[in-house]
């Protein structure tokens, strides 16, 4: 089938394109390259376009006869969303509405949507189940929750088949070293720690050491990007086979604190990772850990590559083999 991967040049989108090809599908990456990279599109064509451009989306649906859509395109940084909520509501909510209406015009009503654990906010119980209250504490989470509500309404009114994945901390890199994580600036913990391990940054920043956790630092559920990619393929295959869709957490069920992850990075890289404690960032909950049993039960999915050691080792391989001194991925073979 022809699958439109909106945000297909991004970190998770590019890994999902590779997994789609392995499953026998043709991914068409649609990306404005504001956060994605053309070197990451190695499987299927790249169409450069914006999710807010309905006419460009219409052309893609007509040209490629799209059978289903996987939607990753979004602004996705908590701190930035607090400082600039207008951008988040515009890109994430209006952009998703534009995509949904293009899908309706094309008669394509199968969608896998990349949501987030940030829709839960400060949770009342850990691990988090899909039926726990959603009370996001930052605009990023709120914007994703708004899209989830749109999908439910489009399902009721127009027959949209949608699978929503609320996933936790995407991390790691492709086992074959073909693609990996590279953002500018880099907001994610593990690649920032690798910068310190490699000696390119003097010390890591730990935001908050006074949370109600064992060591005072935030706890997160780290999920390997290849496991996320596999889930999106399974979710799309279910829709292609006639499933109605559903809402699923994607995580491991085990949390790792920031300070614990620093220890893992030091052991896997053999390098010291000096760090400094800074105040908490606005919008950061103390603990986010998934209950992934629904995805395991309904989709046959499991996190096979998501031990902290495997995640860090794969990210370090990508980093050392593919990143130049200025932090740009090597173009060899791209």
Catalytic positions, written as ranges: 140
Q: Which residues contact 14 (CB under 8 A, 6 or more apart)?
A: 8, 29, 36, 37, 40, 41, 42, 179
d(CA 225, CA 11): 8
Looking at beta carbons, which pairs linking 184-192 to residues 24 or more positions away fall under 8 Å?
184/327, 187/77, 187/79, 187/80, 189/220, 189/258, 189/261, 190/222, 190/261, 190/265, 190/311, 190/312, 190/315, 191/315, 191/319
Whole-number Cα distances in Å, 285 to 126, 171, 281? 12, 19, 9
Name the token pair of 88.
Answer: 């988040």
3-state secondary structure 11-24: HHHHHHHHHHHHCC
Name the token pair of 16.
Answer: 């999902």
Exposure string for 178-190, b = 16+ CB within 10 A, e = fewer: bbbbbbeeeebbb
List % helix, strand, coil for the chain (3-state, nearest 5): 40, 20, 40
Position of tokens 């939607």?
71
Residue 42 near residue 334 (C-beta atoms within 8 A) = yes
């Amino acid at each position: 089938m022809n699958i439109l991967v909106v945000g297909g040049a991004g970190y998770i989108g590019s890994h999902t394109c590779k997994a789609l090809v392995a499953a026998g599908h043709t991914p068409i990456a649609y990306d404005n390259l504001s956060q994605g990279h053309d070197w990451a599109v190695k499987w299927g064509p790249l169409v450069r376009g914006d999710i807010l451009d309905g006419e460009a989306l219409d052309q893609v649906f007509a040209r490629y006869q799209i059978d289903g859509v996987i939607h990753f395109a979004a602004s996705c940084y908590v701190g930035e969303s607090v400082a600039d909520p207008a951008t988040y509501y515009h890109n994430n909510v209006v952009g998703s509405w534009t995509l949904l209406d293009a899908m309706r015009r094309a008669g394509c009503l199968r969608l896998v949507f990349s949501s987030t654990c940030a829709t839960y906010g400060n949770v009342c119980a850990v691990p988090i189940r899909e039926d726990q209250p959603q009370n996001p504490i930052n605009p990023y989470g709120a914007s994703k929750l708004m899209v989830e509500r749109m999908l439910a309404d489009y399902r009721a009114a127009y027959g949209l088949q949608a699978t929503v994945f609320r996933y936790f901390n995407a991390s790691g890199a492709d086992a074959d070293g073909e693609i990996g994580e590279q953002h500018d600036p880099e907001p994610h913990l593990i690649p920032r720690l690798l910068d310190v391990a490699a000696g390119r940054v003097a010390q890591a920043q730990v935001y908050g050491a006074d949370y109600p956790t064992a060591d005072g630092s935030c706890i997160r559920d780290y999920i390997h990007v290849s496991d996320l990619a596999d889930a999106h393929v399974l979710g799309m295959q279910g829709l292609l086979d006639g499933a109605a869709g559903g809402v699923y957490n994607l995580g491991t069920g085990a949390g790792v604190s920031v300070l614990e992850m620093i220890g893992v990075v030091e052991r896997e890289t053999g390098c010291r990772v000096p760090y400094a404690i800074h105040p908490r960032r606005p919008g950061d909950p103390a603990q986010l850990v998934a209950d992934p049993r629904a995805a395991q039960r309904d989709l046959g999915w499991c996190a096979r590559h998501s031990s902290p050691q495997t995640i860090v080792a794969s990210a370090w391989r990508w980093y050392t083999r593919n990143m130049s001194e200025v932090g740009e991925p090597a173009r060899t073979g791209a």
